[in-house]
Amino acid sequence: MSNRPYIVGNWKMHGTRAMLAEARAIDRAAERLIKVEVALAPPSTLIHACRKEANLIGIGAQDCHPADGGAHTGDISAAMLKDAGAGFTIVGHSERRADHGETNVLVKQKAEAAIEAGMGAIVCVGETEEDRDAGKAEATVGEQLKASLPEGEAAAANVTVAYEPVWAIGTGRTPTPEDIAIMHRNIRAQLVEVYGEAGQEIRILYGGSVKPENAVELLSADDVGGALVGGASLTAESFLGIIIAAA
Ligand code: PEP
């Protein structure tokens, strides 16, 4: 596993070309912050432009369709995203699971399609507040992971897992570093069960209300290999605050 923390910004449905200046500023700063691996997942409409503006950081997508192509109006295949300049895609984000009814089976197909197309896949998992309150957080995440992880020869080398408790996304609330460490330990054990020794090398990111002010604490939890950042990745200033905290 690369021991450089991996900090990925998810711009969600934010950004027109006016936001390319932020990508440029992040890219320029990344040149000096070589201890951290930085990536951005802008909306699909900006992937190509971000790739051209930013030479150093990774550029990825937020989703892909599991099929290579066909009659799927409005969807985008993994190969198309790669062609536009994406090196990875997020799959199974909780907003897609909730807004589009995405199942673990579909998330797995998407991850496999991304890897087949030559990209990395960031597979997101995370419990709801009800799951946590009911003492079912670990079981929920375990089930999601088991059914969402890609299979295949290239899977372990190209997958990243993001643990994102749904109740922490965009809310300003976060788990304690101890809670994160417990969950990451379980995820690690499951990765080793599925992929053998290769599972030790897979990075596990934490996501959910990571900000410059809490990044040091959250990133120092055991087995946190980086962060998936939503709101705080929308300006270069706040995203760089997190990147600097990770360095
Ligand atoms: C996310 O959407 O992946 C996320 C972690 O969002 P936020 O940082 O805004 O909580």
Residue with tokens 């290239």: 154
Record the pTM. 0.98
pLDDT at residue 2, rounded to an integer: 72
Q: Any binding-site annotation on 241? A: no
Q: Is 79 helix (H, G, I), strand (E, B) or coil?
A: helix
pLDDT at residue 1, rounded to an integer: 67
Q: Any binding-site annotation on 2? A: no
ipTM field: 0.98
Query: How far is 25 from 215, CA to CA, in rounded Å?
Result: 20
**What's the mean pLDDT when you consider all of the chain?**
97
Phi-psi region of 235 (alpha: psi -120 to 50; beta: other; left: phi over 0): beta
Q: Is 124 helix (H, G, I), strand (E, B) or coil?
A: strand
Flag whether pLDDT at 30 surpasses 90.
no
Q: Whose CA is nearest to atom 8 of ligand 1?
A: 230
Ligand 1 atom closest to Cα of 169? 10
Q: Are 178 and 221 in contact (CB under 8 A)?
A: yes
- Each residue's pLDDT tens digit, 187-201: 999 999 999 999 999
User: Ligand 1 centre from 71 Cα, in Å?
Assistant: 32
User: Ligand 1 centre from 194 Cα, in Å?
Assistant: 27
Residue range 14-32: average pLDDT?
95
Flag whether pLDDT at 134 surpasses 70.
yes
Structure tokens at 74: 């409005």
pLDDT at residue 3, rounded to an integer: 81
Residue range 53-80: average pLDDT?
97
All structural domains of the chain: 6-246 (3.20.20.70)
